[in-house]
Amino acid sequence: MDKRPCDSGGDAEVRKGPWTMEEDMILINYIATHGDGVWNTLARSAGLKRTGKSCRLRWLNYLRPDVRRGNITPEEQVLIMELHAMWGNRWSKIAKHLPGRTDNEIKNYWRTRIQKHMNKQGDHQTLSGGQSSEADHNMDQASTSQAMPGPHDADHQHRDAADQIYSPPSYPENLDTFSAPFPTESSNDNVWSMDDLWSLQLLNGDGD
């Protein structure tokens, strides 16, 4: 299968790296006016020197108005672990059950926090039990859900829609350990939020 992404023809001069505020504005304005989709065309039409892929990623992971940024709540954390135990690294699938969260964010969260933590625990188990240490992926699927009969007493008061879709009987006891080291404020808002961006966009004249 030779799938050669022909990007934007031969124009070359494709920008990479971090998006500037100006590029964000262009993309937001363009999508607000014309809608998204057909990303390669969009990128060209909007005058962005980015690949369609890059535009799509930027939009979906960051600029979309409904994207929810900020700390993962303990509830979300639990949900992520449960869903990951069921589906493994199907991040997009997991993300669908976490409204406003992107697969990229969940993936990052998993890798940087949960998996690391589990590795530590796995390490301990390896030291004592002698399990395979390179079971990186396997560990994901197995260790999360198995043999952890802990009637965890967290406040499941506002579990969102995902809980209705999937309501597991129990989840790992070590969630206690997981939730402890993480800050649990709902949102930091220290990033210049989409509100800012969208209001800027409006100030800018909403397109042409």
Partner DNA sequence: AATGGGACCAACCGCGGGAAC
Partner DNA sequence: AGTTCCCGCGGTTGGTCCCAT
Contacts 24+ apart (CB under 8 A), 100-105: 100/66, 100/67, 100/68, 101/67, 101/68, 101/72, 101/76, 102/60, 102/61, 102/67, 104/57, 104/61, 105/61, 105/69, 105/72
Candidates 69, 100, 142, 154; binder of DNA (CB under 7 A) is 69
Candidates 45, 47, 99, 111; binder of DNA (CB under 7 A) is 111
Instruction: Report yes or no: 147 and 129 within 8 Å, Cβ to Cβ.
Output: no
Query: At closest approach, how far in Å is the CB of 53 from DNA?
Result: 6
90 binds DNA (CB under 7 A): yes
- Three-state SS for 165? helix
Q: Give the Cα separation of 57 and 55 in Å (integer).
A: 5
Using CB under 7 A as the binding rule, the residues of this chain from 158 to 197 that contact DNA are 191
Query: At closest approach, how far in Å is the CB of 54 from DNA?
Result: 4
137 binds DNA (CB under 7 A): yes
65 binds DNA (CB under 7 A): no
198 binds DNA (CB under 7 A): no
Instruction: Using the rule CB under 7 A, give the single segment among 58-66, 142-150, 159-167, 171-179 that binds DNA.
Output: 58-66
- Three-state SS for 14? coil
Query: At closest approach, how far in Å is the CB of 201 from DNA?
Result: 17
Q: Which is closer to DNA, CB of 133 or CB of 170?
A: 133
Candidates 21, 33, 41, 65; binder of DNA (CB under 7 A) is 41
Written as six digits, the tokens of 150 are 């802990």
**Angle, vertex CA 173, rays to CA 168 and CA 174, nearest 5:** 125
Instruction: Using the rule CB under 7 A, give the single segment among 12-20, 126-134, 151-159, 200-208 that binds DNA.
Output: 12-20
**Angle, vertex CA 160, rays to CA 158 and CA 161, nearest 5:** 150
**Contacts to DNA by CB under 7 A:** 1-6, 15-19, 37-41, 50, 52-54, 56-58, 61-62, 69, 89-93, 103-105, 107-109, 111-113, 116, 137, 191
